[in-house]
Structure 1
Amino acid sequence: MKKLFLAPMEGVVDWVMRDTLTSLGGIDQCVTEFLRVTDRLHPESVFFKNCPELKTGSRTRWGTPVFVQLLGGQAEPLAMNAQRAVKLGALGVDLNFGCPAKTVNRHDGGASLLKSCDRVFTIVDTVRKAVPANVPVTAKIRLGFDDPTKCIDIAQAVQEANADWITIHCRTKTDGYKPPAYWEWIPKIKEKTTLKIIANGEIWNVSDFNRCVEVTQCDDYMIGRGVMSNPFIFKQIKQSLAQEPVMETSWENAKPLLPQFFEASTAHINDYFAVSRTKQWLKALSLKNQEAKAVFDEIKVLKKPAEFQAQLLKHTT
């Protein structure tokens, strides 16, 4: 059976979102939002804030494994923080070489590192040697910074550093999130490497997934923005793979999730945070659903938590 991964979208997939989405079924593994590493070792409290699942065996309440993702440009500090993550119970460490955000790239992190295969190798190699061999060390990359032909060299560097697998977002940094995703590079990478590859990019529905499988022939797939517009995509893909009836994507199915998400986000941080995150999710849902868009257009201007929650409940229960 193919494995499906929830993407570690920064500012989106926090503990509450991971908990909410894994409760729906179909997700085999999660990765945290990135923990930014500069030149120091983070205190344990930072790890627990980033990944509360460390307190529950590095799994969500629904049993889904969670890896801790680290981002940075200095190998030794990354290795020290990887060691601490594992000591606290992380089931694996993922290294972020894919974030396209300008702020991150200006500060020597994310996709900016794709300019140098040597640096990618050094970071993965140093982290791999710092943690026990039985704990997976993985890497998430793009096809390159601005040249997709670099993807083979980058993947070879990750393999030579003995990573357990690599997730490939099939666009360059300069592509950003602009369609399409260039899945056709994955077979080319496979010709030159033996590393397990997780395909990522532009999977919005079961049909997209099937086309991605046809092109890449991977065993594993990661989905990000697609699940924000359709929370049931993982379950639908698993139903399709099992040749079972595939549930509908509908506002009726999705809307009960929002009040629960608001309450959980309030408990996790505070009610103003909950307003912001719930608006964010509702906006994503509205991209593919007119009923969700009508609700979003009505309540997006509301800023007071009590007023926002009252209107949210009115439209979703």
Structure 2
Amino acid sequence: MGKLLLAPMEGLVDDVLRDVLTRVGTYDLAVSEFVRVSGNLLPPRAFRRICPELARGCRTAAGTPVAVQLLGSDPGCLAENAAQLAELSPAGIDLNFGCPAPTVNRHGGGARLLADPEQLFRIVAAVRRAVPAGIPFTAKMRLGVSDTARTLDCARALAAGGIDSLVVHARTRAEGYRPPAHWEWVARIGEVVQRPVTANGEVWTTADHARCCLVSGSDDVMIGRGAVADPFLVRHIRSRVAGETIAADRSADWRQLQPLLASYWQQVCRKVSARQAPGRLKLWLSALRRNFAEADALFLGVRTLSDVGDVTRVLERHGVADHSASG
């Protein structure tokens, strides 16, 4: 079958959630949250802060390789930082041309760059010269800013600049995360660039994955929110592609997820402040509510809580955590 990639999701899929999700499902690659490059040469610790896996062969504990994503708009500065990052031996270096966040776009980064294919080329060509051939060099793009008038020009610019492969989030910036994803555009892009193209957007189920591959013409799929909402999705996709019968048992999946939720909570409590930790847990539980009634009950139990100890006690009552999480 094709490759399955775990998408970068700013503020949600950090190294802790990457650890948990890649223990549940077998991914071919994960991509880190973006490292913002805005005028300075960043020290190695800046890359390790976003991608702690760099200290462990740039793989999660389950062995999934992690590419590090850079976001910026200055070709020279991005190239200089890419060279610095390359010395840390990442599993890949990825450029972000898809982030729709207004704060990012106001500074000329992310999806805003899709308004200027020539600048895309300048950025990619500069970074290509800085990245050793042995490190995969990739990019992620949306279909455009507000329409698809320049979609193919942008894709051609990225390919001409020297990327090894391309991920296409099949929506414009203006569409945000609203369905549908226009997978047919992935096929159109694949026709004009001589590079592997991966489809991304609106894959929530095994049926979505099958339709995405059919419509996009790509066997390679990157999954973001669907993987966060259903950590078992990738496992089920692989089973379906292998022709295995999938027994839908959400209760059994939840029982397998409970110790992983406990691990997530414990790691989050070690990583961030006591003030921030409950919010991180609520974000994931909110996503899990889409597929698990137990997650909905748990979310409602912790929704108004801000104290780590109080949250831990609720988790324990649901069989999810132990007292070490609050230490």
Same structural fold, with TM-score higher than 0.5 when normalized by the shorter chain: yes
Q: State the TM-score, normalized to the length of structure 2.
A: 0.94
Q: Contact 1:143/1:151 (CA < 8 Å) preserved in 2?
A: yes
Cα deviation digits, residues 185-230 of structure 1 (max 9, x gap): 1222222222210100000010100000111121311000001110
Q: Contact 1:19/1:62 (CA < 8 Å) preserved in 2?
A: yes
Match of 2:165 in 1: 165
Match of 1:98 in 2: 98
Query: Which of residues 294, 304, 310 in structure 1 aligns to 2:313?
Result: 310
Q: 1:247 & 1:7 partners in 2: Cα distance?
A: 26
Q: Contact 1:265/1:271 (CA < 8 Å) preserved in 2?
A: no
Equivalent runs, 1:1-317 vs 2, <5 Å: 1-246=1-246, 248=248, 250=250, 251-317=254-320
Q: 1:9 & 1:141 partners in 2: Cα distance?
A: 14
Q: Contact 1:236/1:247 (CA < 8 Å) preserved in 2?
A: no
Q: 2:26 & 2:215 partners in 1: Cα distance?
A: 22
Letter in 2 for 1:246: I
Cα deviation for residue 255 of structure 1 reads 3.2
Q: 1:167 & 1:22 partners in 2: Cα distance?
A: 20
Long gaps (5+) in structure 2: 321-327
Cα deviation digits, residues 49-92 of structure 1 (max 9, x gap): 11111111111111111111000010111111111111012121
- The size of the alignment, in residue pairs, is 317
Q: Contact 2:274/2:308 (CA < 8 Å) preserved in 1?
A: yes
Between stretches 230-239 and 289-298, larger displacement belongs to 289-298
Cα deviation for residue 269 of structure 1 reads 2.5
Sequence identity, in percent? 44
Change (3 A) 1:246 1:149: farther
Determine helix, strand or coil for the equivalent of 2:30: strand
Cα deviation for residue 177 of structure 1 reads 0.3
Where has structure 1 moved over 6 Å in runs of 4 or more? none
Aligned-pair Cα RMSD in Å = 1.3
Letter in 2 for 1:227: A
Q: 2:247 & 2:228 partners in 1: Cα distance?
A: 17
Q: 2:194 & 2:184 partners in 1: Cα distance?
A: 17
Q: 1:160 & 1:249 partners in 2: Cα distance?
A: 47
Letter in 1 for 2:297: A
Q: Contact 1:266/1:272 (CA < 8 Å) preserved in 2?
A: no
Long gaps (5+) in structure 1: none
Between stretches 272-281 and 88-97, larger displacement belongs to 272-281
